[in-house]
Amino acid sequence: MHRIFISDLHLDEQLPGVTRAFFRFLTEEAADCDELYILGDLFNYWISDRHNTPYQQEVAARLAQVKAVKYFLPGNRDFLIGKSYCRRCGMTLLKDPSVIEKNVSEPMLLCHGDSLCTLDHGYQKFRKFRSNPFYLFIFKCLPMSVKNRFANQVRTNAANEKKIKSFREMDIVDQDFMKLMDHHKVKICIHGHTHKPQVHRYEQEQLTRIVLGDWNEHGFDYLDEQDGRLELIHRPLC
């Protein structure tokens, strides 16, 4: 079994270099894998599955051409991606968190990672709000113009918060990570969100936390897993 894990692409029409790298990745690195997992923030923002732009259609068409079994777990930027768009991409929508148990030597927990940044109290309040089915229903009923303004405000707020929040606030809290691992009875976790690609090993607890990187002008990182062997790989953008 050959699996590949990616996250935090933040695809956007205004970032053609990242888009070209992703399309090339699908025809090269991902061409011979059995399963491809996208762990959130495939897009820089997402308003609605009904907001079907030509750019989104092209991304869906490129993903649909990949022969691997594809899975998508929503991130903090594209949590509104639903089953409709996933079907167009040929992807299965996963809940956050999810556990891979079939055809693995060791069960692996998958999440975007934002739920574990618990020192970022402001964001956690927003996360609780946007996870509420009632508020999601209200949002889906809003005119597209209002949704666009909301998305632009979220992007602006995210950019401003990065400038004022400490690395500690925006990073994973180990104590909460360990609670999650204990709850699901797993030893390996794979996530994105923090944009700090690294393999963290907790020797005393016998836990491994693998962080996927974001895609930017410096390149991208992906996790390659073949028959239980895990390797975090970096590639230049072009």
Confidence band (pLDDT; 50, 70, 90) for 227?
A: confident
Instruction: Report how many domains make up the chain.
Output: 1
**Please, is 210 exposed, middle or buried when counting C-beta atoms within 10 Å of its C-beta (0-12, 13-18, 19+)?**
buried
Find tokens 């113009």 and name the residue: 145
The whole-model pTM stands at 0.92
pLDDT digits (tens, 9 = 90+) for 193-222: 999 999 999 999 999 999 999 999 999 999
Enclosing domain of residue 150:
2-235
Q: Tell me the one-letter amino acid at 79.
A: F
Q: Give me the residues paired with residue 208 across strands.
A: 188, 201
pLDDT at 163 over 60: no
What are the tens digits of pLDDT across the range 167-186?
A: 667 799 999 999 999 999 99
Q: What is the pLDDT of residues 1-54, one digit of tens each?
A: 999 999 999 999 999 999 999 999 999 999 999 999 999 999 998 988 887 899
Detail the DSSP E strand segments found in the chain.
Answer: 2-6, 35-38, 69-72, 91-93, 98-100, 108-110, 188-191, 198-202, 207-211, 220-226, 229-235
Q: What's the pLDDT tens digit per position in 106-155?
A: 999 999 999 999 999 888 988 888 888 887 777 777 787 777 777 777 66
pLDDT of the residue at 166: 63
Find out whether 130 and 136 touch, Cβ atoms under 8 Å: yes
Tell me the pLDDT band of 165, cut-offs 50, 70 and 90.
low
pLDDT digits (tens, 9 = 90+) for 116-130: 999 998 889 888 888
Quick check: 192 pLDDT over 60? yes
Which CATH number covers residue 120? 3.60.21.10
pLDDT on residue 52: 80
pLDDT value, residue 47: 87
pLDDT confidence band for 162 (50 / 70 / 90): low
Residue 151 phi/psi, 5-degree rounding, is -60, -45
